[in-house]
């Protein structure tokens, strides 16, 4: 193994290149091919907390990264009108605290049944801070305070992010080549041997990373890997993105508002707001969708909408022969829970842990694909839960409530409905706290709770929950406004 060729730039290509350049330290020659004539999707602007692991691996300076990408902090996702009149926040991090054997939500369920519980968000420092537009970094030294548990991610300009990562990758020796690929050569073994650029320039490599977007130039067009269609569970097949002027307050969270044909995102950055509509083409045409999106912007429109077509799902194998697909070449799951960038990061780190030598064994490839399949399927289930649990009228939403769910999701729902139990399987992405918040946020309240709650009396439980809520309230009161914290920690240059 001497040379790795990354086909395609954008967020996926440059995330991979920056990571390889930093961790491989010149052990392999890493080259990336991209064409300025081929645009990138560039709409993924919100992330989830595991991105901080990636930042640590490439030794990224957080304040500089945020300045360079016009970034803001993100404490969670607010869901509006999925069940009309009942917005909620899926916040990152812990909820309350465990009490002896049991998780906090079991005590909340008992108090809720008796009409003696506050809103569930009151027991999350992240949710309470988000709703107050407050933010600060966690204070690990304050071990007894909820402030030590603040968990965050980022909202940033994806195009600026790719440019920033490119500068880091090239600093670590990654070579960028400009050009459009016109042919892919396959060796007698069935492996990819080389690609040919316009002008008949041929570039050979030992291993290929396909970051060519939806078309999957290597993984699909060349290797015919196949695609699993998940649209029966995730029926939206179009997206439209448009930037608008920044509006205040500068929210430390992403917003997902349900609309008749799908849902609309709102992502506040320092220099602008990212907006988009994910929708089903069976329930609205593209022009009407554009009208709907533009009518619901909170700021002035800054560009023409970027229209995307997709089929939710994934490649049957993300590693096939000597090629691994990342990003949109690997598959697409709508950005309802901001997982797109994470799935690139996760697969790239997984590949490094299983990186081949000159004689790749099938067991390694199979394990990589098994882990990818597990992660993608569980993320699919989590997104599908939002659709299934909706309380809206209309053909799309009624279909979602009645659809037959994946067995892996149905098991979670059945277990939750019975007594409020939820268990994280293996290394699936979303924590128990995430599932709990989405279930309760959508009004899926279990019939019972863990019977060991009965060890505590109602007054004890009410005091326990009240102490958590009042402590969090006091903490949030002293936290700075999110916009003030951003301006102090990572102010970006104004954009003309």
Among candidate residues 190, 216, 185, 214, the one with its CA nearest the CA of residue 201: 185
| Residues comprising the chain, all counted | 496
**pLDDT of 38-65, one tens digit each?**
655 555 589 999 999 999 999 999 999 9
**pLDDT of 221-269, one tens digit each?**
999 999 999 999 999 999 999 999 999 999 999 999 999 999 999 999 9
Mean pLDDT of 363-387: 98
- One domain for residues 413 and 492: yes
Mean pLDDT of 375-383: 98
pLDDT given for residue 359 in this prediction? 74
In sequence order, the 6+-apart residues with CB closer than 8 A to the CB of 204 are: 3, 193, 194
**pLDDT of 456-473, one tens digit each?**
999 999 999 999 999 999
- DSSP state for residue 251 in the 8-state scheme: -
pLDDT given for residue 44 in this prediction? 56
- One domain for residues 260 and 323: no
Number of structural domains (the chain) is 2
Instruction: Provide the CB-side half-sphere exposure for 251 (13 A, CA).
Output: 21
Spacing of C-alpha 297 from chain mean position: 23
**CATH number for the domain that contains residue 276:** 3.50.50.60
**pLDDT of 92-140, one tens digit each?**
999 999 999 899 999 999 999 999 999 999 999 999 999 999 999 999 9
Q: Tell me if the bond preceding 92 is cis, omega within 30° of 0.
A: no
Spacing of C-alpha 148 from chain mean position: 24
Asked if residue 222 belongs to a domain, the reply is: yes
pLDDT given for residue 40 in this prediction? 54
Asked if residue 371 belongs to a domain, the reply is: no
3-state secondary structure string across 33-95 = EECCCCCCCCCCCECCCCHHHHHHHCCCCHHHHHHHCCCEEECEEEEECCCCCCCEEEECCCC
- One domain for residues 266 and 397: yes
**Summary mean pLDDT of the chain:** 95
Mean pLDDT of 424-442: 94
Helix, strand, or coil (residue 186): strand
pTM (predicted TM-score) = 0.96
Q: Is the predicted pLDDT of residue 187 greater than 70, yes or no?
A: yes
Range of the domain at 88: 46-154+238-309+382-496
Q: Is the predicted pLDDT of residue 315 greater than 80, yes or no?
A: yes
pLDDT given for residue 211 in this prediction? 97
Instruction: Provide the CB-side half-sphere exposure for 320 (13 A, CA).
Output: 24
- One domain for residues 74 and 196: no
Q: Is the predicted pLDDT of residue 430 greater than 90, yes or no?
A: yes
End residue of a domain, out of 296, 325, 360: 360
Q: Tell me if the bond preceding 249 is cis, omega within 30° of 0.
A: yes
- One domain for residues 434 and 333: no
Q: Is the predicted pLDDT of residue 283 greater than 70, yes or no?
A: yes
């Amino acid at each position: 193994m001497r040379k790795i060729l990354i086909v395609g730039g954008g967020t996926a290509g440059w995330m991979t290149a920056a990571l390889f350049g930093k961790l491989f330290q010149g052990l392999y020659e890493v080259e990336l091919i991209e064409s300025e004539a081929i645009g990138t999707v560039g709409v993924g602007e919100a992330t989830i907390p595991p991105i901080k692991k990636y930042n640590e691996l490439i030794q990224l300076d957080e304040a500089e990264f945020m300045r360079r990408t016009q970034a803001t902090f993100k404490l969670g996702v607010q869901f509006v009108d999925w069940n009309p009149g009942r917005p909620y926040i899926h916040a990152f991090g812990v909820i309350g605290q465990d009490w002896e054997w049991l998780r906090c939500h079991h005590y909340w369920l008992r108090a809720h049944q008796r009409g003696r519980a506050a809103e569930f968000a009151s027991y999350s420092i992240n949710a309470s801070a988000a709703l107050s537009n407050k933010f600060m970094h966690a204070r690990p030294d304050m071990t007894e305070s909820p402030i030590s548990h603040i968990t965050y991610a980022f909202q940033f300009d994806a195009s600026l992010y790719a440019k920033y990562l490119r500068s880091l990758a090239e600093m670590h020796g990654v070579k960028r080549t400009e050009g459009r690929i016109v042919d892919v050569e396959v060796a007698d073994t069935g492996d990819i041997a080389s690609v040919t650029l316009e002008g008949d320039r041929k570039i050979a490599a030992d291993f290929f990373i396909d970051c060519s977007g939806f078309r999957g130039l290597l993984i699909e067009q060349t290797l015919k890997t196949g695609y699993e269609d998940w649209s029966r569970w995730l029926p939206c097949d179009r997206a439209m993105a448009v930037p608008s002027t920044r509006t205040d307050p500068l929210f430390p969270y992403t917003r997902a508002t349900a609309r008749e044909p799908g849902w609309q995102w709102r992502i506040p950055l320092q220099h602008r707001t990212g907006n988009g509509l994910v929708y089903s083409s069976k329930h609205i045409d593209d022009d009407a969708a554009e009208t709907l999106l533009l009518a619901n912007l909170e700021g002035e429109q800054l560009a023409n909408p970027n229209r995307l077509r997709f089929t939710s799902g994934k490649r049957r194998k993300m590693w096939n022969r000597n090629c691994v697909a990342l990003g949109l070449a690997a598959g697409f799951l709508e950005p309802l829970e901001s997982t797109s960038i994470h799935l690139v990061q996760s697969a790239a780190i997984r590949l490094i842990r299983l990186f081949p030598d000159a004689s790749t064994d099938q067991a390694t490839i199979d394990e990589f694909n098994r882990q990818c399949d597990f992660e993608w399927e569980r993320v699919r289930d989590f997104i599908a839960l939002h659709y299934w649990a909706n309380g809206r009228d209309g053909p799309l939403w009624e279909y979602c409530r009645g659809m037959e769910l994946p067995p892996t999701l149905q098991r979670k729902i059945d277990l939750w409905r019975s007594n409020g139990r939820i268990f994280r399987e293996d290394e699936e992405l979303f924590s128990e706290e995430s599932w709990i918040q989405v279930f309760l946020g959508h009004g899926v309240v279990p019939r019972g709770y863990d019977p060991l709650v009965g060890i505590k009396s109602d007054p004890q439980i009410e005091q326990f929950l009240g102490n958590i809520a009042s402590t969090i309230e006091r903490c949030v009161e002293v936290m700075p406004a999110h916009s003030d914290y951003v301006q102090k920690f990572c102010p970006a240059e104004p954009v003309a």
